[in-house]
Amino acid sequence: MYLHFEFHSNQCGCGVATSGALHAFLKTTASSVRDLAPIVLVIALFQLLVLQQPLPDALSLLGGTACVVLGLTLFVYGLDMGLFPLGDAMAHALARKGSVAWLVAFAFALGFSTTIAEPALIAVAGQAARAAATAGVIADLEAERRAYAFGLRLTVAFSVGFAIVLGVIRIVKGWPLHLMMIGGYLVVVIMTWFAPQEIIGIAYDSGGVTTSTITVPLVTALGIGLASSIRGRSPMSDGFGLIAFASLTPMVFVMAYGMAF
């Protein structure tokens, strides 16, 4: 962390900005620690009071936990530093520009690219590939598992891109959110009927993991920017629907992926 501090002071060369950067970094660290603290606490309590068994490889677990905290901190800090402010400004600029074609293209690209980099999705796709290999659906080879996980992530990313496009068109046209959501859930229920049992759990889970670290801030910025630049739309009620779609469409597309393969 000290290195980081020095690095920054070289970069901006002024005391106020440096202490601001350090403050922001510490704040990000505190929030990563706060994310992890309850997990560590609950596991420690169960180990000490209930299980009373030693954890295997405790040292490696500790090192890994430190990696998670530091990694998440750097990740969020880096996003806050450059990509989020720029993405936020761009979302507003594009929303004001008034070209629906560019807006739709941007919406898809944003949804797709943020989902591909989503850490929680990488984690779940990896676990899904492992389970598929254990069950014998795919060959238990490193390359096969990787291909399966990547295919799953591409599917989810495509569906989030599609969801953001749908949400943007909804805001522009002013379609009612709840009717579209109910329609979407009906599609999920019908698809569940036809999808193979092995994919259903993964499909339902992938709806929950897409709305996480990167996607939510950027997509919400797009929605609010768009709703506030169109007359007669309120940022409060129209700006938020994008995320709701983004957790619905992955279920549909992943089930379709499971039916196709």
For other proteins, the closer CB: 192 or 228: 192
Smallest Cα–Cα separation from 162: which of 248, 261, 258? Answer: 248
Write down the least CB distance from residue 35 to other proteins, Å.
4
For other proteins, the closer CB: 86 or 141: 86
Assess 120 for contact with other proteins (CB under 8 A).
Answer: yes
Write down the least CB distance from residue 80 to other proteins, Å.
8
Assess 127 for contact with other proteins (CB under 8 A).
Answer: yes
Write down the least CB distance from residue 195 to other proteins, Å.
9
| DSSP 8-state secondary structure symbol assigned to residue 54 | P
Burial class (CB in 10 A: 0-12, 13-18, 19+), 124: buried
Residue that has been written with the tokens 């002024």 in this structure: 14
The number of beta carbons lying within 10 Å of the beta carbon of residue 125 is 25
Assess 261 for contact with other proteins (CB under 8 A).
Answer: no
Residue that has been written with the tokens 């499971």 in this structure: 258
Binding window for other proteins (CB under 8 A); candidates: 123-131, 163-171, 221-229 = 123-131
Of 13-72, binders to other proteins (CB under 8 A) are 31-32, 34-39, 41-43, 45-46, 50-51, 53, 55-57, 60-72
Contact 225, 168 (CB under 8 A): no
**Rounded Cα distance, 153 and 218, in Å:** 19
For other proteins, the closer CB: 213 or 229: 213
**Torsion 124-130-150-83 (CA) sign:** positive
Write down the least CB distance from residue 179 to other proteins, Å.
11
For other proteins, the closer CB: 42 or 231: 42
Q: What are the residues whose beta carbons fall under 8 Å from the beta carbon of 108, sequence distance 6 or more? A: 161, 162, 164, 165
Judged by CB under 8 A, the residue of 9, 22, 104, 131 near other proteins is 131
Contact 36, 64 (CB under 8 A): no
Of 155-174, binders to other proteins (CB under 8 A) are none
**Rounded Cα distance, 41 and 241, in Å:** 35
Judged by CB under 8 A, the residue of 102, 140, 176, 183 near other proteins is 102
Judged by CB under 8 A, the residue of 14, 135, 139, 147 near other proteins is 135
**Rounded Cα distance, 222 and 135, in Å:** 41
Contact 180, 170 (CB under 8 A): yes
Assess 113 for contact with other proteins (CB under 8 A).
Answer: yes
Site string for other proteins, 72-91 (x = CB under 8 A): xxxxxxxxxxxx--xx--x-
Assess 250 for contact with other proteins (CB under 8 A).
Answer: no
Number of residues in contact with other proteins under rule CB under 8 A: 102
Q: What are the residues whose beta carbons fall under 8 Å from the beta carbon of 220, sequence distance 6 or more? A: 239, 240, 242, 243
Of 185-224, binders to other proteins (CB under 8 A) are 185, 188-189, 192, 197-198, 200-202, 204-205, 207-209, 211-214, 216
